[in-house]
Amino acid sequence: MMTDLHHLTEEQRAIIATARAFADEHVRPYADQWDRAGHFEPSLVRRLGDLGFLGMLLPTEYDGLGLDARSYLLALEEIAAADASTAVMMSVHNSLPTQMLNAFGTPEQKRRFLAPMARGELLGAFALSEPDAGSDASAIRCQARRDGDDWIVEGTKAWVTSGTHAGVIIAMIRTDTPEARRRSKGISAFILTPDLPGFTVGKKEDKMGLRASPTVQLVFDGMRVPGDRMLGAEGQGFIYAMQSLEHGRLGISAQSIGIARAAFEAARAYAMERKQFGQPIAEFQGVQFKLADMATRLTAARALLHTVAAAKDRGVLVPGEVSMCKLFASEMAMWVTTQAIQVFGGYGYMKEYPVEKYFRDAKVTEIYEGTSEVQRIVIGRAVSKPQ
């Protein structure tokens, strides 16, 4: 189901077709198996890199495709409709570490890290949250102190997507001192690599959904970080992270739409095939109304996302609107996947059928990259200012 509401260009149609063919061949057939095993498939990184899908928004100078946000989000929806775990790896990489490096990196940092990231030789991750700092992101405690030209870092990052396989992690770390805390202004961004002395990958989380996307703690135990690994200006890391999350939250919106679309399509096909009381259940108005509401919310979320993404491409984003997309699309995905289980009835609750995975995968879209409550804070602040 894809209306032409959004006036797709030939290039965008080709991107959708490429993403769909890739997902059909390399992702969809294995998604259930990876989910059960909690397996991250490393070959996907190189394959997505070969397609250009790990540098979709990057300039061609750094081996990126130099595409607009809408084209990227269309590709991401296709991948998410096949497997939400693969989609979050692609979304985090394209939206957070690569965007931060591109926006704030020196030419030398970009040459060293961005081009291999675009080619899929280095997978990117983003480390902001900590065990005691989730929604209250400026309360992070990971601490860097100067040692000559280097920084020595102590602390733990939590819930880092792709952390087991990441070759580059953009981490937000305090560079103020415990004696003179500056909340969000005391945080700097650093480019970390797993070879830094004192860097270890900690506990891998056992999750409800997105089980094929590894989520880990990162432990910094006297980690020595060369001074030239600071990204941008000292003390600006929190603001950079918030700006990058605006890309990230559009990505998670596309992921939510992909998950919901897969659930809707499964429910529709099942309703046409399943017979009760002598007829396909799709002929009962009660089921049709459910499908009608699912399709309506899905189409509304996609229309909102593409309107906001087009505004982003034109540089005319209205404050709060990215959060509106993330809030609406993630709550839509949770609702649509819940309805899909209901259409499947008892079978929907069984692992043999696909919809319970969509439901488990959808839940985290209401939590990561800012909970629904955080999105309401951002929207609430934006709309309650004098216009």
* List 61, 283, 369, 373, catalytic entry: 369
Among 12, 86, 109, 138, the residue binding ligand CAA under the rule CB under 6 A is 138
CB-nearer residue toward ligand CAA: 126 or 264: 126
- Which position has the token pair 């990052």? 157
* Stretch in the footprint of ligand CAA (CB under 6 A) among 59-67, 130-138, 191-199, 348-356: 130-138
Strands 124-127 and 168-174: parallel
Amino acid (one-letter) located at 181:
R
In angstroms, the CA 122 to CA 118 distance is: 8
The mark string for 108-127 relative to ligand CAA (x by CB under 6 A, - otherwise) is ------------------x-
In angstroms, the CA 94 to CA 106 distance is: 18
Name the nearest CA neighbour of 28 among 72, 86, 89: 86
Rounded to the nearest 10 degrees, what angle do helices 237-273 and 355-363 cross at?
160
Q: Which of residues 250-289 bind ligand CAA (CB under 6 A)?
A: none
Joined tokens for residue 206: 């056992």
Q: Which of residues 143-172 bind ligand CAA (CB under 6 A)?
A: 161
CB-nearer residue toward ligand CAA: 41 or 130: 130
Determine if 129 is a binding residue for ligand CAA (CB under 6 A): yes
| Shortest Å distance, C-beta 249 to ligand CAA | 8
The reply to whether 77 belongs to the active site is: no
3-state DSSP helix/strand/coil percent for the chain, to nearest 5? Answer: 55, 15, 30
Name the nearest CA neighbour of 255 among 313, 325, 158, 317: 325
| Shortest Å distance, C-beta 368 to ligand CAA | 4
Q: Which of residues 1-40 bind ligand CAA (CB under 6 A)?
A: none
Joined tokens for residue 161: 């997507």
Q: Which of residues 68-107 bind ligand CAA (CB under 6 A)?
A: 88, 92
CB-nearer residue toward ligand CAA: 270 or 368: 368
Length of the chain: 387
* Stretch in the footprint of ligand CAA (CB under 6 A) among 26-34, 129-137, 191-199, 338-346: 129-137
Among 152, 272, 377, 382, the residue binding ligand CAA under the rule CB under 6 A is 377
| Shortest Å distance, C-beta 246 to ligand CAA | 6
The mark string for 178-197 relative to ligand CAA (x by CB under 6 A, - otherwise) is ------x-------------
* Stretch in the footprint of ligand CAA (CB under 6 A) among 8-16, 65-73, 144-152, 362-370: 362-370
Determine if 177 is a binding residue for ligand CAA (CB under 6 A): no
| Shortest Å distance, C-beta 217 to ligand CAA | 12
| Shortest Å distance, C-beta 84 to ligand CAA | 11
In angstroms, the CA 150 to CA 227 distance is: 5
Joined tokens for residue 30: 């294995």
What own/partner pairs with CB < 8 Å and gap ≥ 24 does 57-65 have?
57/94, 57/95, 57/98, 57/99, 57/102, 57/247, 58/98, 58/102, 58/114, 58/117, 58/118, 59/102, 62/102, 62/110, 62/111, 62/114, 62/115, 62/118, 63/114, 63/115, 63/118, 63/119, 64/114, 64/118
The mark string for 221-250 relative to ligand CAA (x by CB under 6 A, - otherwise) is -----------------xx--xx-xx----
Give one DSSP letter per residue of 215-261, joined into a string. EEEEEEEEEEE-GGGEESSTT-HHHHHHHHHHHHHHHHHHHHHHHHH
In angstroms, the CA 196 to CA 10 distance is: 45
CB-nearer residue toward ligand CAA: 139 or 350: 139
Q: Which residues bind ligand CAA (CB under 6 A)?
A: 88, 92, 126, 128-129, 135, 137-138, 161, 184, 238-239, 242-243, 245-246, 368-370, 374, 377-378
Q: Which residues are annotated as catalytic? A: 369
